[in-house]
Structure 1
Amino acid sequence: MTELTEKYVFHIPLYKYVEDELVPIEIDNLFGDLISDLSENGFENFYLTKVKAYYKSRCFDEVLITIFASSVSPAEIFEKWFRNNNDVLGQEAFSYECGNTMIIHELM
């Protein structure tokens, strides 16, 4: 039996806010890079969920990646990916959940 005791949920916006408008992000290639990075680091089983998100009264689509882990954290992989690609993502911050805690990193 295997027990994975830590739950991570990574929030990936599909839109950015530019000049008072929500603009779709061309994310397919970037998303593929994140999936590859996770897989190469041993995270081969995870779940993708498309959801509606609200931030500062704006409603937009977002993808959540849910990963269960035990000893190694996927958070460093996600943070590095987000920071390296924020020129395309165009976000003020990024966030993820670990257990019952939401972690938010300001970018601007």
Structure 2
Amino acid sequence: MEKEKVTCIVLSYNNIEFIYEAINSVLLQDYMNIELIISDDGSENFDVGEIKNYVEKNKGENIEKLIVNKNVVNIGTVKILTMLLRNLQENIFFLWQPMISLFQKVFSFC
């Protein structure tokens, strides 16, 4: 029986120095059906290609899908999160916010 998909959302805005810690905390999870969405809200120093390459190089079998996007202009946390949540279909989701809440330990979802 396949586990239900869990979507982990990493939001970023002008905090590139913390983004890799947040990404790593998702990559370390032991749940086997994770969709990872990394979304930047208009930072000048956020390189989509670099982030995608990092995740692809470091991910395990638990990451089933990766989406990395960058807004051209800052629209704010509420709008970007609302936009992302509209695309979820019956998924459990967790929000990783660099610099605010980094999960240091590996844990199992449900």
Q: What TM-score results when the alignment is normalised by the length of structure 1? A: 0.34
- Structure with greater proportional helix content: 2
- Structure with greater proportional strand content: 1
Question: Which has the bigger relative contact order, CA under 8 A and spacing at least 6?
Answer: 2
